[in-house]
Amino acid sequence: MALDWYLAVSALIFCIGAGGVLVRRNPLVVLLCLELMLNAANLALITFARMHGGEGGQIFALIVMVVAACEVTVGLGLLVAISRRNLPIDVDELHELNG
Amino acid sequence: MSVVMFFLAAAAAIIGAIGVVTLRNPLYSVLALVCHLVALAALFLLLRAEFVAAAQVVVYAGAVMVLYVFVVAYVGGGEEVAAGSTLRILGPLFALALAVELFIALLGSALSGIHRYGAPYKLGFGTPEQIGRLFLTDYLFPFEVASLLLLVAAVGAIVLARRRRGLEDGALELKDLLAAPRPAYTGTIAEGVGVRRVREQIEQAHGGVTEVVPAGSAAGSTERS
């Protein structure tokens, strides 16, 4: 299988994730779409690692997975704090810091 | 065979991604993302990244998605209202423009200089042994920074999501519980050694009622002379 097919799949998934971040209003789904974009980047990294025959790209993909896990943890913590204060779960309604 | 596997996994990954974006219920979005992640792990296996594929399934589809499901259950993932904002039209347009641009960059020009079928396979490529050796030699610093980042994120999530004092009205204090009126002899040594039962029998025999200790009085002075 030619490797540029994998890159095409990666680009498609990234675009779907980017569109989802813009369109959806639930912060939970926005986080899920961020995951989609990070995973697309992971797929591209691993494809390039295969292309060059070195494991550096795979190491980088693992680090990206760690960063994604941290981002999810903090984001979901924020979401729980928001829902505990009975604020609306909607990224358009949360504009308290918007001066 | 690998071509068939590739198209199956790629189709599942893309369908899962579309499901994440389009499904209304956040719980179904999370389940679509699980499907997407498993399909992506299959693609990683086709690219000979065994360890990353295993980590993807265990860490992502296992642990992180369980966290998501718990938060959806806690927050109560209701259906979100669809708003007719300009982003609803501009968002897909932006995504489409990005896709066109990326495809031109990928398939049109940039990759013609790089071989399309990859480097020749060498023994032990992408195995846990090789990844672990690289993590402890060449990439030791990123490894340590990643572990520190995980610690910071764990502490930060606990600080963000913990229950704060003073937010809930009407919380009971220990002082209020101690000052509440209660039947005589409860919470005293006399109750513990069984004096209260004897007194009750005596009072029932004489037709009396159990007295009530007023709030705040000392518990030790209830012995009647």
Residues B72-123: pLDDT tens digits? 988 876 666 665 677 788 888 999 999 999 888 877 765 665 567 777 777 7
Select the residue from A14, A21, A22 to test the B interface by mutation, using most B Cβ atoms within 10 A.
A22
Give me the interface pTM, i.e. the ipTM.
0.92
Residue B96 one-letter amino acid: L
Comparing A69-83, B15-29, B156-170, the range with the smallest average pLDDT is B156-170
Q: How many helices (H) and strands (E) does chain B have?
A: 10, 2
Cross-chain Cβ contact B36/A39 below 8 Å:
yes
What pLDDT is recorded for position B225? 45
Domain residue extents for chain A: 3-84
Cα gap A1→B84, rounded to integer Å: 43
Q: Which residues contact B156 (CB under 8 A, 6 or more apart)?
A: A73, A74, A77
DSSP state string for B6-40: HHHHHHHHHHHHHHHHH-SSHHHHHHHHHHHHHHH
Among chain A residues, the shortest Cα distance to B98 is held by A15
> Helix, strand, or coil here: B84?
coil
Query: pLDDT tens digits, residue range A29-60?
Result: 999 999 999 999 999 999 999 888 888 999 99
- Which site among A23, A64, A91, A95 would you substitute to test the B interface, given the most B Cβ atoms closer than 10 Å to its Cβ? A23
Q: Which of B7-21, B150-164, B170-184 has the lowest mean pLDDT?
A: B170-184
Determine the CATH number of domain A3-84. 1.10.287.3510
Say yes or no for a CB contact (<8 Å) between A73 and B157. Answer: yes
E strands, chain B, in order: 182-183, 212-213
Residue B77 · residue B25 · CB < 8 Å? yes
Domains belonging to chain B, first-starting first, are: 1-78 (1.20.120.1200)
- Separation CA B53–CA B181 (nearest Å): 64
Residues of chain B with pLDDT > 70, as a percent, come to 74
d(CA B53, CA B95): 27
- Collapsing DSSP states into helix, strand and coil, what is residue A25? coil
- Chain A CB contacts of B117 under 8 Å are 2-3
CA distances for B169 relative to A84, B59, B166, B173, angstroms: 13, 39, 7, 12
